[in-house]
Amino acid sequence: MTRELHLNLFIHARGHHEAAWRHPAASPLPLTDIRYYQDLAQRAEAGLFDSIFLADQLALGDDVAHAPRTWLEPITVLAALAGATSRIGLIATASTTYTEPFNLARQFASLDHISGGRVGWNIVTSWLAAAAGNYGGERQLSHAERYARAEEFMQVVTALWDSWADDAVLDDRASGTYADPRGIRPINHQGAYYRVAGPLNLPRGPQGRPVLVQAGSSDTGRRFAARHAEAVFTAHQEKAAAREFYADLKALAAAEGRAPEQVLVLPGLSPVIGSTEAEAQRIARELNDLSDPEVGRKRLSGRFGGHDFSHLPLDRPLSPEDFPDPGTVEAARSRTEVILGLVRREGLTLRQLLHRLAGARGHYTMAGTPEQVAALIEDWFLAGAADGFNVMPAVLPGMLDTFVAEVVPILQRRGLFRREYAGRTLRAHYGLPRPPVRPAPAARPDLAAE
């Protein structure tokens, strides 16, 4: 079977460059205006993208005075986007750390019904230290504890989605029978973190379960993805590192008894596109010139769990010793390793590093022509570094429009990307099967509370 390239639009603020909100090509609409998100989703659907994706953050950043990163709550937004689109997949982020499994399972099952089977869940184990204070916690959970909680969370939500048989709803008005109770079962989960009786209080969705997406690239994150994820958003600065990650994740999935082709790897790509390379470089410089280094310094601190970088001069080359050991960081550990890799390879100054991170927070950035962007996508796809890309336009909607109008046709002419949607669900777009109802899980005494 011929592989098909997959494209997801990652909607973030007015674009993925931290200064995008100031650029004239950015949307004039407020970030709290639902028309902004509906318009972007419709533009991506016109470009035949597989899906759109909304991230989330559970605390207000301390750089809000100069960096408008606020956005509407993503699950709510997906409900509005479902009515404004008809084919494109809709993926929202929700935390296993600060969400109850029953609530989340119910919300995503509802969205799957509302959208006609187009919803996906980006699973996160919230790493932002400030989020703990908003959810009654006195401390940030450790990296290991977040993933232990997430493993049990996945057992619960999967059991809830499978607590209704596909044919449980009869809706037989003549006989007066709405549902066959033999097709509905409790889950009676008792574990270390959750006690959930079930069953879910609404029927199974059109996709059976939402498409499961995950973005962790640490060793623990990879193993979690190999067990659960059907699409993986990841960040790499080099094709070689992307190929290593791709091969490792596929092997881990196979070791879990899963088909490797049913775990899609989608690295982040943030292109600045111009009619010439010189024009693209000029736009990239414009964006960097609009960025505030102190905003970047605060974001860097957040990535390293609040580490203080205020003493570092902007124009001295950095060394790994200027950073804490990633193994001691309880935040997004995989991204700290990406940042340190940049420092080791390129000897960047702090100002240069902040410019690189301003573009897409550690994802791959480039400035070039449509042909150069398409060539990079094709190269990584054919080289076994990606199944597609999480497209992160530097400025929205301007760079999305350019990508759809000029990059997508090149990919289509090269036989890499669809010319029309073949299916109506996100699983169909991604080439994923509809999962059958799993048998009731056996009791897990190792997860029971003491």
232/222 Cα distance (integer angstroms): 9
Reference 191, options 136, 225, 151, 220; nearest CA is 151
- Could you report the per-residue pLDDT of 311-354, keeping only the tens digit for each? 888 888 888 888 887 777 755 556 677 788 778 887 888 877 87
Task: Give the pLDDT of residue 59.
Answer: 85
56 in a known ligand binding site = yes
- Could you report the per-residue pLDDT of 186-243, keeping only the tens digit for each? 999 999 999 999 999 999 999 999 999 998 778 888 999 999 999 999 999 899 999 9
Residue 38 has pLDDT above 60, yes or no: yes
Question: Would you list the domain boundaries of the chain?
Answer: 6-279+362-437
Range list of H helices, 183-260: 219-228, 239-255
* CB neighbour burial string for 257-287, b if at least 16 within 10 angstroms, e if fewer: ebebeebbbbbbbbbbbbeeeeebeebbebb
- Could you report the per-residue pLDDT of 25-37, keeping only the tens digit for each? 999 999 999 999 9
Task: Give the pLDDT of residue 347.
Answer: 81
Confidence of residue 130 (pLDDT cuts 50, 70, 90): confident
98 in a known ligand binding site = no
For residue 283, report the phi and psi dihedrals to the nearest 5 degrees: -65, -40
Q: What is the value of pTM for the model shown?
A: 0.87
Residue 65 has pLDDT above 80, yes or no: no
Task: Give the pLDDT of residue 450.
Answer: 31
Residue 417 has pLDDT above 60, yes or no: yes
93 in a known ligand binding site = yes
Beta strand 211-214 with 119-124 is: parallel
Domain 6-279+362-437: which CATH number of 3.40.50.10680, 3.90.1570.10, 3.20.20.30, 3.10.129.10: 3.20.20.30
Task: Give the pLDDT of residue 223.
Answer: 94
Q: Per the structure block, which two tokens stand in for 310? A: 């205020």
Cβ-in-10-Å burial (0-12, 13-18, 19+) of 421 comes to middle
List, in order, residues 6 or more apart from 381 with CB less than 8 Å away.
3, 5, 387, 388, 416
Asked if residue 223 lies in contact with residue 248, where contact means CB atoms within 8 angstroms, the answer is no
Q: What is the mean pLDDT of the chain?
A: 90
With a pLDDT cut of 90, the percent of the chain lying above it is 68
Instruction: Please name the helix (run of DSSP H) or strand (run of DSSP E) that holds residue 78, with its range, or none.
Output: helix 74-84
143 in a known ligand binding site = yes
Confidence of residue 442 (pLDDT cuts 50, 70, 90): low
3-class secondary structure, 129? helix
435/437 Cα distance (integer angstroms): 7
| Cis peptide bond upstream of 28, omega within 30 | no
- Could you report the per-residue pLDDT of 242-282, keeping only the tens digit for each? 999 999 999 999 999 999 999 999 999 999 999 999 999 99
- Could you report the per-residue pLDDT of 356-365, keeping only the tens digit for each? 776 667 789 9
